[in-house]
Structure 1
Amino acid sequence: MLIFELPSGNRSLKKRTVLFKEDLHEIWNSILIPTPKKYSILLVLQPNQKSMKQVILYFVFVVAMLAVACSGPKVAKTPAVSGKTLAEKAAAEGNFAQATEAWKQYFAASPLEKTSGADFAQAAQMAFKAGDATQAVSWFDQARYKNHADAAMYLTLAEIYKTQKNISKELTALEFVEANYPERKSETSQRLFQIYHEIKESQKALTAYENLSETQKLDLPNLAELFDVKKELKDTVACDELSLKILEKQPDNRSALEWNAWKYYWKGENRYQREMNKYNSNKTSKQYKILLEQLELSTADFKKSLVYLEQLWKQEPGKKYASYFANIYARFGDEAKAKSYEKYLK
């Protein structure tokens, strides 16, 4: 606000001053409006101030003083920069919940088009560590929208989807890492092997198993799952070998015990049926001799089967295994034992 008090009766000076006041108003605005403060100036001309020159000099002096007062270094951080700094500081201190809140403030104060995908991915990691999986997935989605990708991002997504039991999305994330970051296979192969086994993708499961470390390959859970995969592929030779490896590590493993029990039982039973049919169709002394030799081999297989069946019986006595015992003892000619197991079949 500019107020001029002029001597009365000096019409020419008043006219000139009013016109000049309009000019000064434009100059004044261009100088002071950008500053953070607002000022009012009372400019008074005393009667002895006779010329416009004095007005100009006085005005220039006031403006110069205000310019000096308003000048000086200004240090101001935008909320966005401060929020990001706070987030990184909180993360470094292990305060992931605080870091997550700081990231929220940062994103709220930052234009989306100027926010990087890397920032969204970094914030998502903090949210995940803070236990906020929903927020983590949301920020990871923003990172992907920004065409950002890194192995840690997809490994964390896989972990989130695993917790949510979303096997389809988990598999997609793991396969992305395996395809794009082969150096991280050691972090994906174990879970990929488990998933492929679960969804019956046997060939893919075998590939994933080969990517495991030598130590992982010999872990009991992995041997057991590989055993199941080989059974699905009907690879009996591999199953024979794997079942014994499993029993070395876990003698009461039911799946491995059953494999060997059935293996020797049917080997003995099929031989018995085959040789009896041969003898019944050709009852000669020569054929009878062959029959006796073959029945000895059949008996040996039945006895091997019994070793595994007896361990299974301890785990689950009853109908499931009783028929095998009854038939084996019937082949041995031991009617009493055969009948003792037959009662479980009623």
Structure 2
Amino acid sequence: MRLIKGFIAVSILLGVVYSCSPLKKIESGKSVAMASYAEHNYLQAYEQLTALITSYQSAKLKVPVDILLKTADCAAQLKKYDVASDYFSQSLADSITMTGVKGYIENSKAGGNIDILASALNQYAIFLNENGEGRYLAKELFATALRTNDQESILKVYPDLEKPNEEESMAYLLALEKANKNKEALTFCNHLIKENPDYNRAKEWKAIYYYNLAEEGYKREMAKYNKNKNYTAYVYLKRDLKKVSANYRVAKGLFEDIRKQYPSEKKYIKYLKNIYLRLEMKREASAMEKLL
């Protein structure tokens, strides 16, 4: 009987100790915070979770990864991107999860921390690729290359993009041009227009490309003729200008097509006026002059 009474007394004592212990406070705080999080009350949940993390740390206990991830998510929902990024980073120091990696990347990006973002993409590239997120990685790498104007990375990463949009495609086209890969740029532009007839920026690029090509040819042939004006030189000039005119006509068709959608855009009117003059289309050139 004494043994039973002693056991009961110890149990009661342990219960009292537990009820006053940090563990009881932590379990109680966790239950309340999880309820707030489940109800999407992110501000309240964030305050409760950060207090909970402090309780873990005060008790010299390891903060569970799940708590860190939920705190990070609450911070992100509240647009506290730097704070969210920090909590996601803390979670990754313990366990690398897809939620943690993507959260770290997304919030570093949203917070404008480009250096941290670039570092994170590099650090977790293998993890993302090995877990079927290669396309996500390529999208983020390309976006970072655009932000930092990294032309080399734009050229490198673009082929890995899935269904690139107009902005991404144009960035790649301009990167090819800046790298003096003009033939590749033109081939790519032709394909882009064929696949996406509504990409007016690509049409404009092609139109300007052929316009500049024609202008260079025109000025070159005229310079040759002006050095030695005679009948034979004139015959050659007319012949060579026919080749130049073909490039003007390509530019003309493209500019006319774009101008249907932007009839008041002066840069297209100016281009067309010059092209019409070169092609001796005086009436059309005069009409463009009036619009200017």
TM-score range, shorter-chain basis? 0.7 to 0.9
How far apart in 2 are the matches of 1:231 and 1:95? 49
Contact 1:216 1:222 in 2 (8 A): no
Q: Give the SS at the match of 1:268.
A: helix
Select which of 152, 166, 174 maps to 1:203: 152
Residue 340 of structure 1 is matched in structure 2 by 287
Tell me which amino acid in the other structure corresponds to 1:279.
Y
Cα gap change, 1:99/1:280 in structure 2, threshold over 3 Å: closer, same or farther?
A: closer
Q: Shift in Å at residue 115 of structure 1?
A: 2.0
Counterpart mapping for 1:153-232 below 5 A: 153-178=100-125, 182-183=129-130, 184-212=133-161, 215-216=162-163, 219-232=165-178
Where 1:333 maps in the other structure, the secondary structure is coil
Equivalences for 1:254-269 in 2 at 5 Å? 254-269=200-215
CA distance in 1, matches of 2:87, 2:212: 59
TM-score by length of 2: 0.75
**In structure 2, which of residues 204, 211, 224 is the aligned counterpart of residue 278 of structure 1?**
224
Deviation string for 1:104-139 (max 9, x for gaps)?
453233235422473553343442575463653453
Question: Conserved in 2, the CA contact under 8 Å of 1:326 and 1:341?
Answer: yes
Residues 221 and 240 in structure 2, CA contact (< 8 A), matched pair in contact too? yes
Q: CA deviation at 1:284?
A: 4.5
Structure 1 unaligned blocks of 5 or more = 1-60
CA shift at 1:71, angstroms? 4.1
Query: What is the CA–CA distance in structure 2 between the aligned matches of 1:66 and 1:277, rounded to whole Å?
Result: 116
Q: 1:316 to 1:200 in 2, by over 3 A?
A: farther
Aligned residue number for residue 251 of structure 1: 197
The structure in which a higher percent of residues are helix is 2
Alpha-carbon distance, 1:90 to partner: 7.5
CA distance in 2, matches of 1:105, 1:236: 59
Report the secondary structure of 2:180's partner residue: coil
5+ residue gaps, structure 2, are none
CA–CA separation in structure 2 for the residues paired with 1:207 and 1:279: 45
Letter matched to residue 241 of structure 2: L
Deviates further, 93-102 or 311-320: 93-102
Residue 136 in structure 1 maps to residue 75 in structure 2: no
2:56·2:63 contact (CA, 8 Å) conserved in 1?
no
Cα deviation for residue 179 of structure 1 reads: 6.1
Aligned CA RMSD, in angstroms, stands at 3.6
The verdict on how the C-alpha distance between 1:263 and 1:122 changes in structure 2, with shifts beyond 3 A counting, is closer
CA positional deviation for 1:304: 1.5
- Measured in 2, the distance between the counterparts of 1:243 and 1:296 equals 25
1:304 maps to 250
Residue 330 of structure 1: aligned partner: 277
- Taking the aligned partners of 1:68 and 1:176, their CA distance within structure 2 comes to 55
Give yes or no for contact 2:26–2:55 (8 Å, CA) kept in 1: yes
Which structure would you say has the larger Rg? 1
Residue number in structure 2 paired with 1:67: 6
Distance 1:246 1:162 in 2: 29
For the residues of structure 2 that align with 1:266 and 1:148, how far apart are their CA atoms?
58
Q: Determine the structure 2 residue equivalent to 1:56.
A: none
SS in 1 for 2:210: helix
Contact 1:121 1:153 in 2 (8 A): no
Alpha-carbon distance, 1:309 to partner: 1.3
Residue type of the alignment partner of 1:294? D
Structure 2 CA distance for aligned equivalents of residues 95 and 103 of structure 1: 13
Please give the alpha-carbon distance, in whole angstroms, between the structure 1 residues aligned to 2:280 and 2:157: 50
SS at match of 2:163: helix
Q: Match for 2:235: what amino acid?
A: K
Is the 2:218–2:241 contact (alpha carbons within 8 Å) kept by the matching residues of 1?
yes
Retained in 2: the 8 A contact 1:174–1:192? yes
User: What is the rounded CA distance, in whole Å, between the counterparts of 2:234 and 2:7 in structure 1?
Assistant: 125
